[in-house]
Structure 1
């Protein structure tokens, strides 16, 4: 195994880094300040996108920094998961950057689903405008009334009735559903009239956002922030009818698709966490060396130098583990890299959370304000310890694989 970046990966990483420094960093604070000053809180119907975002997207596309996540040289950059990982780290330093390069969640995962599993009709109608950055998408999986860490608890249903499929259920934490450009939902549900084992009872269905019966109930704040202009909403589906051709890859394949979707997505999330941790460490050092207390720089007080060293060690460990997971995903697929993907999903957000917490302490009151990105990074880290499977689920996967390696099968679990 060799984690030395390819020449192609180095080139994209450096170009992305320069783009962020030259074009995004000078306007990012103003961009978010503009959104906050015009904030409409949880009323997503009033949310708007500042024009600078589309200007930056057009510039990034013109420079060939577009759809960098997609391993298809015709539709994206054609980078492997390992090659894209270091690019994703650079974008993690900025909250704007992923969208500027059309590499933002949940669109990346939804585009990969359509690219891998979608019909030609589905690709033409939805994948093409998503790849062009003309629309945004939503992924509806988590439900408010059950423990969604266990997908078999899912209560939402997709019932095939002739040439239609009828959808019912409640979803929440549906990221991006407040975005005025959101046009399509991928809805995961139990296919009620299909038999089969527990891994073949779910389907993913494409639902245009304006379909009758799709009702956005509210936006959900994260630590009081509605993540405007994208949002995370609670959505109810009441007798929603769409053509049966909207089922992705056919009934009963939802669990398979979810596993294929989540593998690369977890690599992306974790590398962005590492980028955010690097940015946080930079801010912590700069702040700690520019402020004094009791006649000394803050970093020379209270064990703060040790905290810097611990952050460096933890970030580098997380990066190496994530690169290993990316390499293994490329070599063996999601099932072959299951242990490593679960491990990084635990490690990377926890590292970011710890580094940010230390940085906030160094910054004092500024650390919990909007004057720095630290509160946003903290929310990102804490949320990711729940999203795409909570820490406990991933630790359970790792433990199960370790027990199996020693010859203890699932049938002997209590």
Structure 2
């Protein structure tokens, strides 16, 4: 089966809803920075508001994702997206409000719709035959990278060319449109009674911790590429203006990689082996970029890293589906969403600490070492990770 089998009205509606739900998320951090940059200490304030937003996302994904119920998921997702739309609108309409209020609204904007990524992924894959799931996840990855590639240009153009509050008002409008669009999607996904007889949802989700750790490792590499790249280019006497084109190229390569991964029905090795091999290859590319001396080599390393990173994204989602029962998939996607946010934040904190005392290239290599530790822990834990339908050690038969 090819991508043409996905060209249906339900999938098209899902794409429109997903864009409306995810573009505000991609726009938010930079939009906060532009909103308050003219204030005293505007850069620090913008970073603080963005941090509050990310913390809200992490907390919301962990708290709300596992509470999604298959039979009424659409209503729960709609409530979350509507709340997020109101919070974004509040920030856009009150740009001069006290920083504490802006931070609280940003945390709310991150938290209340945080179950949407996992819930929407479940709504996409649940009605599809198993042979189309890989292609559907590849399409989702292409969409994700396209959204993240477009968001900075959209925010910059609106904030600098029209009004700093406009990106946040657009985010509110998009999220409200996604709320309405949810009613064109299924109400939920089938519940499986046999999945409710075993361990609690928390214990079920905890079984897949090595897969979550792989997600954190992958996101830590992305943080290195985004946050240290300007300083690395400056260290190599390369114009910092190349940062944007290089990161855009990374995103385009990742979108292409996701499409290529889905073209083939299966790849050699298990899903988890594929994920670890691809992640090690991406780590090698990032390390090579840190030691490269010229722009073409750095660009080539980032393009290859983006191409392979897309495979990591798809395989880790498929690994979650393999490790956990269907009733836990949406909750697991939300936990993964939270964990990758923690991975990004942890790598950013490490990069900031190391860069204050070392060169940018050493900072990247330190981050690569941190990523390799996460990969090693994930690989060791993976040896004991049960497959779907297999009871975890000590649980007895079901």
Taking structure 2 as the reference length, the TM-score comes to: 0.33
Higher helix share: 2
Larger of the two Rg values belongs to structure: 1
Higher strand share: 1
